[in-house]
Amino acid sequence: MDPALATPAHHSPLTDGHSVDLNLSADTELQLIARRARRRLLRMHFERKVGHIGGNLSCLDALLALHHRILRPEDSFVLSKGHSAGALYITLWSLGLLADADLETFHAEGTLLAGHPVPGWHPRIPVATGSLGHGFPVATGMAFARARCGQEGRVFCLTSDGEWQEGSMWESLIFAAHQRLPNLTVMVDLNGLQGFGSTREVASMEDLGQRLAAFGIPVLHVDGHDHLAVTAALRRPGSAILVLHTTKGAGVSFMENRMEWHYLPLNAEQYAQALDELSEDAVAAALAAGGGR
Amino acid sequence: MRNSFCQAMLARAAQTPQLFFLTGDLGFMALEPLRDALGERFVNVGVSEQSMIALAAGIRRNGGESWAYSIAPFCYARPFEQIRNDVCLNGLPVRLVGNGGGYAYGPMGGTHHAIEDYGVLLTLSGLRVYVPAFGADVAPMVAAMGAREEPGYLRLGRSEVSDESALPAYQRWRCLLEGAAGLVVVAGPLAGKLWNAWQARDRADRPALWVLGDWSADDQELPAALCQAIAAAPALAVVEEHVAQGGLAAWLLYRLALAGVACPPLHHACARGYPSGRYGSQAFHRRECGLEADTILEALRAAAGLPASALAGPAAQSVAV
Ligand SMILES: Cc1ncc(C[n+]2csc(CCOP(=O)(O)OP(=O)(O)O)c2C)c(N)n1
Ligand SMILES: [Mg+2]
C-alpha cells in the first residue's frame, strides 16, 4: 500500500489557514481548491520561468477531482502526458503530499520535481513519463497484472489528445479491450491543441470519442473542468475512457486556446494579470454566479 | 543551432525541388520559415515518430529527399527499428535530425535527454553521425549530409561560444588549440566550453584541443597529424556528452590501436546517467559527470603525472579512468 496515499501527515495547505465552509457541496469546495491550485501553479511556473502552462491548466481540474475524490490507497495513477507534471505536483501539494518547500525546487538544480515526472521518489509517481505514448501502455500492464493476480485497486491514467497519434496508444487499447480489463480508466485531455498546430490541422482523429468507442470500452464525454461531472464519471465501476472536453490554458483568458502557451513562460505583467483573474474576489464572484473553475 | 539549422535547410530546399521535411510535432517558433518555403512538402506528421521515419523511408524510395526532425530521443530511440530496417537495411539515405543532444533538455528530465544517441546509431552500418560543436558548423553539415548518399543523423545542441569568428571553419577534424599539457579530443558544444576556458592560457599550460564533427562505423582512417600528436602527448582525454558505451572514446581508441599508435594515459569524461538520482540544468548534469573544463584539465594533469595546477580547488578533483 502506498504510504503517501494514506491520510497526509500534515494538513492540506488549501484548508490550513483558510476557512472552508464544511457545508459546501463537494463541487464548490473543489472549485475553491482549484482556484488556489491554479494560482499556485502559475506562481511555481512564473518563479522558475517555466513553460508548458497551457496543458497543465487544461488537466488540472480532472487531476484534482481524481486525487481528492477518487483515489484510494490501493489505486494507482499514471500521468501519461508527462509534460503536465506541474499540474500533478500542484495536485499533490493541494493534498498536503508535497510542501511549499518542495514546489520551490521545481526545475531547480538537483531537483526531483523535474519538468517531466522522474521515477523513484513519490508513491503517486509510479513511473517516469515524458515521452508520449508510454504511460498508457504501462498503466495497462499494471491493470492487467492486478486483474490477473486478483489484486484490489483500479488504475487511472491521463493522456493528451495529441498523444493518441502514437501507435503504442492504440496497441495498448487493443490489448485492454481484448483482455476485458475490469479496472482501467483512461482520461483523454481533449483540448484540441498540440505542439505545432491544432490536432484538427495536424493529424485529425475526429471524432476521437467515436474512434475510441469502436474498441468496445465504454466512452464517457465529460466537461473536463466540471469537477462534479468528472468525479461522477470516475466513480463509475469497471473500465472506461473519459473524453475530457477541455480548454488549453483554462482559467487565464489570454492563454485559453493559444498554442504559444504550450511553450512560453510568464513575464511579470502577464503573471499579475493572471493572478488578477484568479483573485479571491474573482473566485467569490464566480462562485456566487455559479460559474465553474 | 535550431535557427542555423532552419537557415541551412532553407538554402538546401531552394536547390532541391523534391525535398520533404517531416516533423514529429516540433519546431514551433523555429521552423515556420521552412514550412512556408516548402508548402505541402513540409509535413507535421503528428506525435508519431515511428511512422515518421518509415514515411521518410517511403518518400526516399520514391525518389524524394527526406529529412525527419524531433527532439533527439524521440528521433533515434523511439523509432530505432524503423531506422534499422526501413532506412539502413534498405540502404536509403534518409536524414534524421535530433534537437537537444546530451543533457541539453536539462530539467525536463531523463526522458528528454539523448546521452546514448550516436552510440546506438553507429551500430548501424552505413549511417553517419554529425555533431556540430558551433553554430557555424550546422550549415556545412547540412550541406554534407545532403550531398552524401547515405543515412545521416544530425545532433543539434546549443553553441557555447558567443563570438565564433576566431574559430576555424568546419572540417571533420579540427585542431582548435595547440598546447603541451596533454591532448583533448571532444565532440559537440562542449568544445566551445573548453575553448572558452583554455584559449587564453599559455600554450605550455593548456592541452591541445581537437574536435571531431562527423564520423561513422565505417571510417577507419585518422589524420596523421592527430596520430602523431596523440603519440607525443603526455596524456589523452576524450570528452563527450554521451555514455562511455558506444562513445567517441571507444571509436577513437579502436582506430588508434589499429593504426598502431601507442596511446598515452587516458581520461574519459563522459555522461554517466544520473549519479545522484537528481535533475537540473545541462550544467548541473555536466558537473555531476565531471564534464567541466577545470575538472578535465586536472584529470588530464593527473593522468600525465603532472602536479595539480593552481586552478585546482576541491571541486576540480576527479578520477581518471
Ligand atoms: C514521443 C514524444 N514526442 C514528442 C514529444 C514532444 N511533445 C511534448 S508535448 C507535445 C504535444 C502537446 O500536445 P498534446 O499531446 O495534445 O498535449 P497537451 O495539449 O495536453 O499539452 C509534444 C509533441 C514528446 N514529449 N514525446
Ligand atoms: Mg492537446
Q: What's the confidence (pLDDT) of residue A12?
A: 45
Distance A189 CA to ligand 2 centre (A): 7
Which residues of chain A does B50 touch, with a Cβ-Cβ cutoff of 8 Å?
A: 167
Pairing mode, strands B65-71 and B95-99: parallel
| pLDDT above 80 for B309 | no
The class level of CATH for B2-156 reads: alpha beta
Going from N- to C-terminal start, the domains of chain B cover: 2-156, 173-304
pLDDT tens profile B276-296: 999 999 999 999 999 999 999
- Mutation to test the A interface, candidates B47, B49, B286, most A Cβ within 10 Å: B47
Averaged pLDDT for residues B103-120: 98
Q: Residues with beta carbon inside 6 Å of ligand 1? A: A 55, 58, 81, 83, 130-133, 160-163, 189, 191, 193-195, 248, 262; B 24-26, 47, 49, 71, 74, 78
CA A56 → CA A34, A133, A183, A224, B77, distances in Å? 12, 18, 26, 12, 26
Q: Please name the residue of chain A whose CA is at the shortest distance from the CA of residue B31.
A: A196
**B229 within 8 A of B208, measured Cβ to Cβ:** yes
Q: pLDDT tens track of chain A, all 293 residues?
A: 333 333 333 344 444 433 334 444 557 899 999 999 999 999 999 999 999 999 999 999 999 999 999 999 999 999 999 999 999 999 999 999 999 999 999 999 999 999 999 999 999 999 999 999 999 999 999 999 999 999 999 999 999 999 999 999 999 999 999 999 999 999 999 999 999 999 999 999 999 999 999 999 999 999 999 999 999 999 999 999 999 999 999 999 999 999 999 999 999 999 999 999 998 777 677 667 665 45
CA B2 → CA A68, A69, B11, B231, distances in Å? 42, 44, 14, 38
pLDDT tens profile B181-226: 999 999 999 999 999 999 999 999 999 999 999 999 999 999 999 9
Q: Mean pLDDT across chain B, nearest whole number?
A: 95
User: A194 phi and psi, to 5 degrees?
Assistant: -135, -155
Cell numbers for B227:
596520430
Compute the distance between CA of residue A222 and CA of residue A27 in angstroms, rounded to an integer: 15
Is A234 exposed, middle or buried (CB count within 10 Å of its CB: 0-12, 13-18, 19+)? buried
Q: What's the confidence (pLDDT) of residue B307?
A: 83
Q: Whose CA is nearest to atom 18 of ligand 1?
A: A55
Q: What's the confidence (pLDDT) of residue A291?
A: 53
Q: What's the confidence (pLDDT) of residue B195?
A: 97
Domain B2-156 shares a fold with domain B173-304: yes
**Partner B contacted by A117 (CB < 8 A):** yes
Distance A210 CA to ligand 2 centre (A): 17
A73 by DSSP, 3-state: which?
coil
Domains and CATH numbers, chain A: 24-288 (3.40.50.970)
User: Residue B87 — pLDDT band, cuts 50, 70, 90?
Assistant: very high
Give all strands (DSSP E) within chain A, no chain letters. Answer: 76-79, 155-160, 184-190, 193-194, 197-198, 219-223, 240-245
Query: What region does B309 belong to: left with phi over 0, alpha with psi -120 to 50, or beta?
Result: beta
Q: What's the confidence (pLDDT) of residue A279?
A: 86
Cell numbers for B301:
594533469
Averaged pLDDT for residues B254-264: 96
Q: What's the confidence (pLDDT) of residue A290?
A: 60
pLDDT tens profile B34-72: 999 999 999 999 999 999 999 999 999 999 999 999 999
Which residues of chain A does B23 touch, with a Cβ-Cβ cutoff of 8 Å?
A: 196
Distance A163 CA to ligand 1 centre (A): 6
Q: What's the confidence (pLDDT) of residue A25?
A: 58
Q: Looking at domain B173-304, which CATH architecture does it have?
A: 3-Layer(aba) Sandwich (3.40)
Q: Please name the residue of chain A whose CA is at the shortest distance from the CA of residue B30.
A: A196
